[in-house]
Amino acid sequence: MDQTRPIIIRKKKGGHGGHHGGAWKVAYADFVTAMMALFIVLWLLNSSKQVQEAVGGYFKDPTGTSKRVGSNMLGAGENFIVTKDNMPKLKEQLQQAMRQMTDFAKLQSHIEMTVTTEGLRIELTESAAGTFFESGSAQLNGDGREIIVMLAQELGKLPNKLSIEGHTDSKPYVTFGNYGNWELSSDRANAARRLMQGNGIRGDQVTQVRGFADQRLRKPADPLDPSNRRISLIVQYIVEKDKEDQAPVDGEGAEAKGKEKEPSKPAAKKN
């Protein structure tokens, strides 16, 4: 009897290729991260100096708590409340910010800060050629715009109210019509307000915009001196009430003070 070999049929099952791993995903993620970093660097190179300093300050202090000086208000952008006690601290911070300006050495003699009974007064004085405004105009020049924007970004962090004043010298304003020093001083103060409110100052932060013409000269002995032409920014105090001056919550304290123990009467002697 013939023995035949069994017929063996091999069936190949179709399937996917072998597992290649996820190394390509890591390489792709690194590539995307590098491109994002490149675009950020290119953006920073074309940004203003204020933006570059703000980004650098974030990486130095991401939480932003290093600038807080004692305010417990959150979410409104306030760093601290300016009172009579910490007004010199604000003055120092503003001076440090001004030193970062491009032409600070040239403008330094035209910026003056003094602590007054109203608050911190920041005065931007003009020169004969015009330091912050075009001569005889309410149009801010490049230096004027830079310092006004810088002040707006710093003062906009405060809850304090602001007043803006415009002043001129006693030289008559030569023009046609009824436009004079009163109008010029008011228009310059309003020009500063508009620029500040567009760059950090809140809409309700400015309480007064005043034009004084030549009625409050910086140098009364020399009414034609160019420094009499100026813009004044006043950071007003916030008066904090002392707890000792507050009335007691309940009337027990006042009532106790009003009541005094009556002297005890001696007992009557029996005859």
Give the domains, in start order, of the chain with CATH numbers: 82-240 (3.30.1330.60)
pLDDT at position 187 is 95
Averaged in consecutive runs of 10 residues, what is the pLDDT profile of the chain (271 residues)?
Answer: 69 59 84 90 79 73 50 40 79 85 81 90 89 88 90 90 94 80 94 94 93 94 93 86 46 45 50 43
pLDDT of residue 227: 92
How far, in Å, are 97, 265, 271 from residue 268 at the CA level?
Answer: 83, 9, 9
CA gap 83, 119 in Å, rounded: 8
The three-class DSSP label of residue 213 is coil
The β-bridge relationship of strands 206-211 and 162-167 is parallel
As a whole number of angstroms, the distance between CA 227 and CA 127 comes to 6
CB 235 within 8 A of CB 119: yes
Query: Nearest 5 degrees, angle CA 146-CA 211-CA 93?
Result: 40
Task: Please tell me the pTM assigned to this model.
Answer: 0.59
pLDDT score, position 223: 94
The Cα-based distances of 230 to 24, 109, 237 in angstroms read 64, 13, 22
pLDDT for residue 67: 47
